Amino acid sequence: MASPAQAKKVGIFFIIGMVIFGLITFRVEQIGRFFKKRNEYKAYFNSTKGLKSGSKVSLSGMNVGDVKDVSIEDDKILVIMAISKKTLIREGSVAVIVPDFLFGRSYVDISLVPPDRPVLPPGSVIKGVDVPGFSDMLVKFDEAMSSIEILTETLESARTILVKLEKGEGAMGKLFTDDEIFDELKGAVTSANYIMGKISRGEGTIGKLLEDDELFEDLKGTVSNANLILAKMSKGEGTMGKLIMDEELFEDLKGSVENANIILGQIVRGEGTLGKLVRSEDLYEDLQNMMANLTETVNGFRAIMPRGAFSGVIYSSF
């Protein structure tokens, strides 16, 4: 019977042997990849989601290859996949990156399409579709929680408003609870209905405008006459038309205005008889003195002559 020390040594050698066997198997598998005939395909994604070179590639869950390279091209993640030549990738296939939350290593899975679809040639691009990862789901969950909080605040605000309406607070609350305001509003509606009724029956000025055909015809005739007058004026017919359209009359009127401006200018400057009458203070004083003397003379005659005789002299003068 083996001693405990010998059993311990056997166990250690067994573990070491299993590790070595695993490493050899792994290496053989890695080396075997270089000898397998494989085709390369491309796919573009917005995020790697932990995908690395060497990650497996599966076709509807069955391992068919591995990821050869992961790089950035423009604003996308380019994934180059080496897939066994025995595996036929057909048009319409979709590639997705499946996060592996257990081992922390993601892989690419390609969807299986009907066999009647054409086969994609090597080097083709397989449509890549981004599925939400754990971090994306956390972001979505956070956004959903924020939306719920906003909705809760909105409902709370609505509840507060309803309570105020029920208590009759504010303008809207008074409309709901104040009977006096309701009666006034009811009266205003009744008055509006009464006025609309009169209008619909053709009563009043507005009602006649809507219902009276004769008034409509008169108004139509007035508009027609106005259009006729405006047409004549636009053609230069009549006095107003000539004033608007006759350029010669316009020039004459312009000349008259210019002459009037010249005369007014002379008067303002005190030129001419009328200008002197307006501007000369001496002439104004002489005229004032003459009127004063004349008044004084007349008053003297009236004082020394009888009333009847003075009137006879005045009338005989004319």
Length of the chain equals 318
Task: Give the pLDDT band (50/70/90) at residue 234.
Answer: confident
- Would 56 be classed as within a structural domain? yes
pLDDT at position 153 is 79
Alpha helices in 36-109 (DSSP H): none
Mean pLDDT of the chain: 76
**Same domain flag for 145 and 123:** no
Per residue in 176-222, pLDDT tens?
676 777 777 778 888 888 788 777 777 777 777 666 677 777 777 78
**Same domain flag for 121 and 50:** yes
Q: Which of 97, 131, 165 is the last residue of a domain?
A: 131
**Same domain flag for 127 and 42:** yes
User: CB of 44 within 8 A of CB of 79?
Assistant: yes
**Same domain flag for 73 and 126:** yes
Residue 128, number of CB atoms within 10 A of its CB: 19
pLDDT at position 28 is 47
Q: What percent of the chain has pLDDT over 70?
A: 71
| Main-chain dihedrals φ then ψ at residue 177, nearest 5 degrees | -115, -25
- Would 45 be classed as within a structural domain? yes
Residue with more model confidence, 271 or 120? 120
**Same domain flag for 118 and 87:** yes
Name, in order, each residue with C-beta under 8 angstroms of 57's C-beta and a sequence gap of 6 or more. 63, 64, 65, 66, 67, 81, 82, 83, 107, 108, 109, 110
| Nearest-angstrom CA–CA distance, 292 and 14 | 156
- Would 226 be classed as within a structural domain? no
Question: Residue 285 sits in which domain range?
Answer: 246-307
Any idea which residue has 């507060």 for tokens? 160
| Buried residues in 206-237 as b, exposed as e (16+ CB within 10 A) | ebeeeeeeeeeeeeeeeeeeeeeeeeebeeee
Q: What percent of the chain has pLDDT over 90?
A: 19
pLDDT at position 23 is 61
- Would 6 be classed as within a structural domain? no
- Would 94 be classed as within a structural domain? yes
Smallest CA-to-CA distance from 54 within 74, 75, 26, 77 is with 26
**pTM for the full predicted model:** 0.36
Per residue in 68-101, pLDDT tens?
999 999 889 999 999 999 989 999 999 999 887 6
Cross-strand bridge partners of residue 108: 57, 97
Looking at the structure of the chain, the number of domains it has is 3
Q: Span 103-126, mean pLDDT?
A: 89
Give burial (CB, 10 Å; 0-12/13-18/19+) of 33: middle
Q: Span 46-50, mean pLDDT?
A: 85
**Same domain flag for 122 and 145:** no
- Would 237 be classed as within a structural domain? no
Q: Which of 103, 131, 159 is the last residue of a domain?
A: 131
| Buried residues in 101-121 as b, exposed as e (16+ CB within 10 A) | eeeeebbbbbeeeeeeeeebe
**Same domain flag for 155 and 170:** yes
Q: Which of 145, 176, 207 is the last residue of a domain?
A: 176
Residue with more model confidence, 88 or 5? 88
**Same domain flag for 112 and 66:** yes
CA angle 110–112–116, rounded 5-degree value:
135
- Would 98 be classed as within a structural domain? yes
